[in-house]
């Protein structure tokens, strides 16, 4: 296909400018015949306002300087052969997994369908990006890039490949650190996120759809964007696609200011809004991962909600701020400190809580065992309390506690490899559903069907599910000799999934 031809614009613009200038001069000369002399002089000599922005940035030096420190990451995982996934390549699988889309059943084109292989085999499971933190081989990426991987392959820009060891991954912040056995590597420079300004030019380097070292650029659209419990994201309009995950977001000084992690999309593709994890938050997590292989966080044992303007005014708080305590866990640090349901936490450890998302981040970053000061607004008065911060339980224990634990699963549910829990009212409102149950873990047959933690089951065998009890009842009535159909919600997508029970 012939290349499109573009004509230079500068000559045409110059001609128009001269013509316009001549017309302006002619008009001004004629006008001076009746204008007052002073006014005529003002029109002729008024200086033009200086433009606030001139020219466009040149990214070539940034690419040359930072490009060698950006890596491509491929992963494989040991799975049973699943016919429903045989027709999708690893790039698209990563896309569906990362952006919360159900994996469709796409049969392999041509030839017989593969039968499930219980022995398991290595299959490509994802593609992503990362960047070198230190010359001795530590690489930072997203946790979702390496999640479930049995093997991680890191490829440098000079085409050298290394098998990497996963040092640690933190799902809550989506940060992971892997290590390759190499020395003298080019490392990135870490930037200061506090200096980053909205409207500032930024650049991303990554491997979208496996296209290594692809460069895209844009501006910072917003900072402190709340889309997660622990992270205030950097929003940009830099083009981010599957495979960019884990790559660096760079400022014009060639410093990493974020890790490209998510996009907002209604179509499944890039729509001009992307999110990056602030590098200061990521470094805090990576330091713990490198030291201990895990991240330790604080907790105080409260459920919180937003304080609306109407509520703030009606109770005498004034402006809408703080975190409204909707529930206090029995025997928790909050209960022992005297915090009550209905309190509004307005200050923690000397820092103001401007919005509800500030509290979990501040508490989470507090070392367990620390005694912290907390200020609550209760019945028209401020009260200062002291609280001993506890440690967040591991995800597995939290899941069991949230879901009326795994030990309560029926034999049929165990046969399917499913453990489910109740949906809270807040989760139902967020998902705009009347009922359903949340998947706490999916193994064996459920995992092979594509189910995963966080999915919401809305129906079983065409019977509506409103609770764990109704889920188990519907499951017990299903024909055990046939695949069980589940209506599953993931993100904004709803799809039927067939689970073939284990026969062993």
Show which residues are catalytic.
144, 174, 245
Helices (H), 59-209: 60-66, 90-98, 143-146
Phi, psi of 176 (to 5 degrees): -140, 155
Per the document, the length of the chain is 504
DSSP assignment of 458-473: EEETTEE--SHHHHHH
Distances (CA, A) of 6 to 12, 14, 329: 13, 17, 66
DSSP state letter for 366:
S
Distances (CA, A) of 222 to 235, 416, 441: 5, 44, 35
DSSP assignment of 22-39: HHHHHHHHHHTTTS-HHH
Closest CA to 349 of 299, 392, 307, 386: 386
Q: Cα–Cα distance between 256 and 278 in angstroms, integer?
A: 9
- Asked if 279 and 163 count as a contact pair (C-beta separation under 8 A), the reply is no
Residue 243 token pair: 């495979």
- Asked if 462 and 485 count as a contact pair (C-beta separation under 8 A), the reply is yes
Q: 3-class DSSP state for residue 430? A: helix
Instruction: Return the biggest CA–CA distance within the chain.
Output: 103
Q: Cα–Cα distance between 179 and 134 in angstroms, integer?
A: 10
- Asked if 248 and 203 count as a contact pair (C-beta separation under 8 A), the reply is no
Residue 321 token pair: 């701020």
- With the CA atoms of 116, 121, 127 and 130 taken in that order, what torsion angle do they form, in degrees rounded to the nearest 10? 150
DSSP state letter for 98:
H
Q: Cα–Cα distance between 139 and 282 in angstroms, integer?
A: 12
DSSP state letter for 502:
-
User: Cβ–Cβ contacts within 10 Å for residue 54, how many?
Assistant: 6
Phi, psi of 39 (to 5 degrees): -65, -40
Closest CA to 485 of 306, 64, 495: 495
């Amino acid at each position: 296909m012939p290349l499109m031809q573009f004509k230079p614009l500068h000559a045409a613009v110059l001609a128009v400018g001269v013509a316009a200038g001549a017309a302006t001069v002619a008009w001004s000369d004629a006008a001076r015949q009746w204008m007052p002399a002073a006014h005529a002089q003002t029109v002729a000599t008024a200086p033009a306002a200086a433009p606030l922005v001139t020219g466009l940035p040149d990214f070539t030096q940034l690419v040359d300087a930072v490009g060698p420190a950006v890596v491509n990451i491929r992963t494989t995982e040991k799975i049973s052969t699943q016919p429903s996934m045989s027709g999708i390549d690893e790039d698209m699988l990563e896309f569906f997994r990362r952006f919360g889309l159900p994996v469709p059943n796409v049969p392999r084109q041509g030839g017989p369908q593969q039968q499930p292989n219980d022995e398991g085999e290595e299959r490509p499971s994802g593609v992503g990006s990362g960047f070198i933190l230190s010359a001795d081989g530590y690489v930072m990426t997203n946790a979702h890039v390496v999640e479930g991987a049995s093997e991680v392959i890191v490829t440098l820009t000079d085409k050298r490949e290394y098998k990497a060891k996963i040092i640690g991954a933190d799902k809550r912040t989506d940060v992971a650190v892997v290590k390759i056995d190499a020395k003298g590597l080019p490392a990135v420079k870490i930037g200061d996120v506090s200096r980053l300004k909205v409207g500032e030019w930024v650049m991303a380097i990554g491997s979208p759809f496996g296209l290594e070292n692809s460069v895209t650029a844009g501006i910072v659209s917003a900072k402190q964007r709340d889309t997660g419990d622990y992270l205030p994201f950097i929003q940009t309009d830099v083009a981010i696609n599957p495979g960019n995950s884990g790559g660096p977001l760079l400022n014009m000084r060639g410093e990493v200011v974020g890790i490209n992690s998510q996009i907002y999309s209604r179509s499944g593709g890039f729509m001009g809004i992307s999110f990056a994890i602030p590098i200061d938050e990521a470094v805090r997590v990576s330091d713990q991962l490198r030291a201990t292989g895990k991240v330790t966080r604080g907790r105080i044992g409260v459920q919180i909600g937003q304080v609306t303007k109407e509520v703030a005014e009606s109770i005498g708080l004034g402006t809408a701020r703080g975190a409204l305590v909707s529930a206090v866990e029995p025997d928790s640090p909050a209960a022992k400190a005297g915090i009550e349901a209905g309190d509004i936490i307005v200050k923690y450890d000397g820092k103001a809580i401007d919005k509800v998302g500030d509290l979990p981040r501040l508490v989470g970053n507090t070392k367990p065992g620390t005694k912290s000061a907390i200020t609550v607004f209760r019945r028209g008065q401020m009260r200062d309390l002291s609280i001993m911060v506890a440690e967040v339980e591991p995800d597995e224990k939290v899941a069991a506690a949230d879901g009326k634990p795994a030990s309560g699963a029926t034999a049929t549910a165990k046969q399917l490899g499913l453990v489910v829990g109740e949906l809270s009212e807040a989760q139902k409102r967020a998902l705009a559903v009347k009922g359903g149950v949340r998947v706490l873990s999916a193994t064996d047959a459920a995992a092979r069907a594509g189910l995963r933690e966080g999915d919401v089951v809305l129906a079983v065998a065409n019977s509506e599910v409103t609770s764990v009890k109704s889920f188990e009842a519907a499951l017990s009535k299903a024909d055990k000799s046939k695949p069980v159909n589940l209506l599953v919600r993931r993100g904004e997508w709803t799809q039927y999934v067939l689970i073939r029970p284990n026969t062993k």
